[in-house]
Amino acid sequence: MPDPTDSDPLDPLLDRLGRQTPLPPAPLGPEVWRRISLAEESARGGFWERFHAVFARPSFAVTFVAACVFLGLFLAEVRRSRRQDDYNRELMQSYLRLIDPLLQAADRPSLAQTGTKS
Amino acid sequence: MKRTFAILFLGLLAGLGAHIGWFSASAPENPTELGAQLAWMRSSLRLSDEQLLRIRALHEQSAPRLLALAAQVNGMQGELAAFERARQTEGQIDFLEFARFVEERRRLDRECLASTQRLVSAASEVMTPQQRQQYLTLLEPALKMLRGNPSG
């Protein structure tokens, strides 16, 4: 059981802190603004540093190149699909011209004109 | 810095290469060739090899006749243009000649329609009912146009 008469060595220090709070060395406002502007500057410079640091990681570089390849393949597939639709339409029209002489003839008006002129 | 730009460039190059390679890997055939049209029919209607062979033979048999009819239609379009020129320059046309022309044109249109229908019907007979229905659905717009406006 501790003796209540024994004083804690921290007590005098805590008492003194309450009485003698140290004053800041300079006015606080300008110092705060200085530190904020410093932090902003370091954040601005840090973007490119972070960007290069990310690309310097081999795992990210490989993932980036693979993503570019997949994007290229995806866009090519979209274009192929559109081209296939157009091609199917052309095939359909060509087939109709093949089986229908009237459409065949309508497709060649220039021949009719030439035949008339000669 | 250089490494970052090298990776960016490599990514761009790889993406572009993949795009061009994949896109140009399957360049379609000329759509006006019978082979391409039959290949399209085969995939659309899921035709068997035997059906495809018979349908190809039917189309190849009827092709000369259809081409000859198309040439006749072309010739008649020329005649019609000549009538129109005569009407514009001389102010009149030979009505007996024109009536003969109209009658001939109607006969030719009927013949064209009959030839097309014969070919479609013969090709349909090679198909299963489902294939036939799909085939006729594909041709329906053109057939409607022919029936609705046989004079072209």
**Radius of gyration for the alpha carbons in chain A, expressed in angstroms and rounded:** 42
- Quickly state the pLDDT bin for A16 (edges 50, 70, 90): confident
Instruction: Using an 8 Å CB-CB cutoff, list chain A residues near B19.
Output: 72-73, 75-76
Q: From the CA of B107, how many Å to the nearest CA of chain A?
A: 13
- pLDDT for position A118: 33
User: What is the C-alpha separation between A75 and A45, in angstroms, rounded?
Assistant: 35
In Å, how far is A66's CA from the nearest CA of chain B? 7
> How much is the pLDDT for B97?
85
- Both tokens of A14, joined, read 């805590």
Residue A110: what pLDDT? 45
Is residue A67 a contact partner of residue B18, using CB atoms and an 8 Å limit? no
B146 versus A5: which is more confidently predicted?
A5
From chain B, the residues in CB contact with A89 under 8 A are: none
**pLDDT computed for residue A108 by the predictor:** 62
Give, as one character, the DSSP assignment of residue A107. T
Q: Which residue in B has a C-alpha nearest to residue A78's C-alpha?
A: B23
Residues B32-71 pLDDT 10s? 788 888 888 888 889 999 999 999 999 999 989 998 998 8
Alpha-helix residue ranges (DSSP H) falling in chain B: 2-24, 34-45, 49-90, 95-126, 129-148
pLDDT of A3 > 90? The answer is: no
CA dihedral B20, B22, B26, B31 (to 10 degrees): -60
Tens digits of residue pLDDT in B81-120:
888 888 888 888 788 888 898 999 999 989 998 998 899 9
Query: Who's near A28: CB < 8 A, 6+ residues apart?
Result: none
Interval A50-109: pLDDT, tens: 888 888 889 999 999 999 999 999 999 999 999 988 888 888 888 888 888 888 777 665
CB contact under 8 A, B18 and A108: no
Asked whether the beta carbons of residue B8 and residue A55 sit closer than 8 angstroms, the reply is yes
Q: What is the pLDDT of residues A37-46, one digit of tens each?
A: 888 776 666 7
State the Cα–Cα distance between residues B130 and B34, nearest whole angstrom. Answer: 23
Q: How far apart are CA A118 and CA A113, in angstroms?
A: 9
Question: Cβ separation of A76 and B20 shorter than 8 Å?
Answer: yes
pTM attached to this predicted model: 0.62
Angle at B42 between CA B145 and CA B19, to 5 degrees: 100
Q: Are B94 and A74 in contact, with CB atoms under 8 Å apart?
A: no
Higher pLDDT, B111 or B141: B111
Q: Within 13 Å and on the Cβ side, how many CA atoms surround B94?
A: 7
Name the pLDDT band for A48 (thresholds 50, 70, 90). Answer: confident
The span from the CA of A101 to the CA of B67, in Å, is 7
Best residue in A82, A89, A99 for a mutation probing chain B (most B CBs within 10 Å): A99
Look at the block and give the residue holding tokens 């960016």. B8
What are the C-alpha distances in Å from B16 to residues A12, A68, A73, B49? 75, 8, 9, 39
